[in-house]
Structure 1
Amino acid sequence: MQSMSAKDAKYGFGRLIDLARSEPVVVEKHGRPVVVVLAIEEYARLRDGASGAATPSVAAPIKPAAKRTRTERA
């Protein structure tokens, strides 16, 4: 699994997408992993328990995470 900094992901979003198409990519912020970016096909496979029933066009919409304040961070 590849990893990249949040800054590199931001300024190289096209590269992030290209990498994530072939394998999941861990995005790190201040050296700590915060998210994983993966291809829609892999997401559908994981979501459906590897049954292969879903297609990328029917993937469930993803809700954005609630923004956390500084006091919420550990």
Structure 2
Amino acid sequence: MLSLNANEAKTKFGTMLINVQNEPVEIIKNGTPVAVVLSLREYQLMEELKMELVKSRFSDVDDSDLVDGDTFFNDLDSGKYD
């Protein structure tokens, strides 16, 4: 992964935008990594993977597992899930 300090990222912003099409770019400020810039495509892929994970966690849910929102929050407030 390419690393740039914050000043380089600012002064070479156009070049950084070109670079992120190939690989994420790490931004370092005061010697500490503070951000990663990535392409829109990479971001969309990450979001799709997160959604697939969420869907897989709920793949075996049936109607008996569902509760009304008000009921759930009332139970939560009453300490049922403590």
Unaligned runs of 5+ residues in structure 1 are: 52-74
Q: TM-score, normalised by structure 1?
A: 0.65
User: C-alpha distance in 2, partners of 1:37/1:10?
Assistant: 12
Percent identity (aligned): 37
- Kindly state the Cα deviation for residue 31 of structure 1 after the two structures are TM-superposed: 1.1
User: What is the count of residue pairs matched by the alignment?
Assistant: 51
Which position in structure 1 is the counterpart of 2:49? 49
Q: Which amino acid aligns with 2:9?
A: A
Which position in structure 2 is the counterpart of 1:4? 4
- Runs in 1 of length 4+ with deviation above 2 angstroms? none
User: C-alpha distance in 2, partners of 1:21/1:9?
Assistant: 15
Unaligned runs of 5+ residues in structure 2 are: 52-82
User: C-alpha distance in 1, partners of 2:10/2:21?
Assistant: 17
| 1:5-30 deviation digits (Å, cap 9, x = unpaired) | 00000011001101111000000001
Q: Which amino acid aligns with 1:15?
A: T
CA RMSD of aligned residues (A): 1.5
Over 3 Å counting, the alpha-carbon distance change for 1:50 and 1:42 in structure 2 is farther
For the pair shown, the structure with the greater C-alpha radius of gyration is 2
